Chain A
Amino acid sequence: MTPSLRISGLAFAYPDGYQALFGVNLEIAKGERVALLGPNGAGKTTLVLHLNGLLSGGEGIVEVAGLPVEKQNFAEIRRRVGVVFQDPDDQLFMPTVRDDVAFGPANMGLSGSDLDARVDEALAQVAMSEYADRPPHHLSFGQRRRVAVATVLAMHPEILVLDEPSSNLDPASRRELADILRSLDITLFMVTHDLPYALELCPRSVVLSEGVVVADGPTRDILLNDPLMRANRLELPFGFDPRNVPA
């Protein structure tokens, strides 16, 4: 089966000469949930921006469900790749929740009752239906993060890409989001510093360091690999032991 995401030999330098990626290889099968771990400055955000062509022009290939990320495919690529950015205030830019969730599918050409159905479905998936007509800033931070997820779910993406999904969430919102993400039948690629969250949600993890993939394997094995963790400035929270977490 065609993988949801295939990255091969991806290298990229910013116009100012700073090279962020040095040949990244990664394949994510359909339905997999994968965490992308790595210290600040490892190139995680740069990698995410390549997945839907917001950054391009370097070496290598990125394919989403077999379709290369190239300018002539951008419309379809951006439907297939749902990126949820870190700050929901960046993601939610329309006057109401409903308008915001409708933005993506409307750009794909949906309208009328089809569009309404998409919006309702996406809001139901993140349990935010009753907030449809509220302006985004009337919602709590956790609710805004969930609406941000709905805005891309409404496009029926092939792969959901989340940048730091648990950041700034209180423990209850963090758990609610985890429940929602687990309930989705979708390929998930999640950039995070929250290692327990990675272990909770993603059976597989990839460690990116200085622009290359330095480890790729079961999340539990990676978190228990002390030398690897130390070498990449990854640390478990105080008192957290992956061995105590039921598989």
Chain B
Amino acid sequence: MPSPHTHGHDVGERLFVHRHSTIHRLPAEVKTVAMVLFIFTVIMTPPNQFWAFGLFALMLVAVAAFAKIPARVILPRMLVEVPFIFFALLMPFFGSGPTVEVWGLSLSQAGLLAGWGILIKGTLGVVSSILLAATTPARDLLMGLERLKVPELLVQIASFMLRYTHVVADEMKRMKLARESRGFTATGIRSWPIIAQSGGALFIRSYERGERVHLAMLSRGYTGRLPQLVAVTTTPTDWVTAMSLPAVGLLIALTALWIQR
């Protein structure tokens, strides 16, 4: 049985940073839409208009300041980006066309620009998502998605993931303890079959839990829809407030495109 946990260490709540700000108060779906649109304006901006990205970054800094989310929260979370940066860093080495000499390395100009583009657009997107997650509890985000008419099944799956990540991780920990109690230590390739088998067992257990959860849901009248539990009203003011971000973003993007022309 899972041990009683009294501290929050599941994904959903760890990301949320409790503060009182206008941004925290905005309904989740409004923020989600604003963020997605803002990311689109970033994406449509040509990478060689460096000033535009400076402005985008400033806008996000302003949002963070407004929401009272400190840099020491945001910066470590940006590490999720690292695997993607890797590809961006490779591009200057593999691009074609004219090259430039940097510290004795011959780098493709087009590749450099493309790599920069991926890097900065990716980073701005990641920071936007971090800000959304830090200002909106996971549960509200899911309900927001539901109100945005995201297919209900997807929202339900995400909501169960949120609820059960912790339970499954706990189960995994117990299996690891059980393995180690019997003298198993992971040493190189020969322990892989054991770890793979544990993974399989974990999958079967989770699958069976899924079936039991489904029975429990049916027992309480589940007919395929999760009930709408909170009525949230979004006011036009909410939309205007939130949309100011992508609106300014669009202005910057259009100016950049115009200069580029």
Contact yes or no, A95 B218, CB < 8 A: no
B212 vs chain A, min Cβ distance (A): 4
Contact yes or no, A49 B167, CB < 8 A: no
1/0 contact string of B220-246 vs chain A (CB within 8 Å): 111100111101000000000000000
User: Which residues of A lie under 8 Å from residue B189 when comparing CB positions?
Assistant: none
Contact yes or no, A104 B209, CB < 8 A: no
A154 vs chain B, min Cβ distance (A): 9
Of B8-16, B20-28, B32-40, B50-58, the one touching chain A: B8-16
**Cross-interface CB contact of B163 among A75, A94, A151, cutoff 8 Å:** A94
Contact yes or no, B229 A87, CB < 8 A: no
Contact yes or no, B216 A91, CB < 8 A: yes
User: Which residues of A lie under 8 Å from residue B227 when comparing CB positions?
Assistant: 102-103, 106-107, 111
In the complex, what distance in Å separates the CA atom of A239 from the CA atom of B113? 80
Given contacts A90-B213, A141-B1, contact A108 B221 (CB under 8 A): yes
Given contacts A95-B162, A138-B8, A139-B4, contact A54 B219 (CB under 8 A): yes
When C-beta atoms are compared, the residue in chain B nearest to A139 turns out to be: B4
In the complex, what distance in Å separates the CA atom of A112 from the CA atom of B227? 12
- List B183-212 residues whose CB lies under 8 Å from chain A: 209, 212
> Does any Cβ of A come within 8 Å of B179's Cβ?
no
In the complex, what distance in Å separates the CA atom of A42 from the CA atom of B229? 40
Please give 5 more A-B residue pairs, beta carbons under 8 A apart, in addition to A95-B142, A141-B1: A83-B216, A92-B163, A107-B221, A137-B166, A138-B5
- Chain B residues close to A by CB (< 8 Å): 1-2, 4-8, 10, 12-13, 138-139, 142, 159-160, 162-164, 166-167, 209, 212-213, 215-223, 226-229, 231
The list of the 6 closest CB pairs from A to B, nearest first, reads: A106-B227, A107-B221, A140-B4, A104-B220, A90-B212, A95-B139
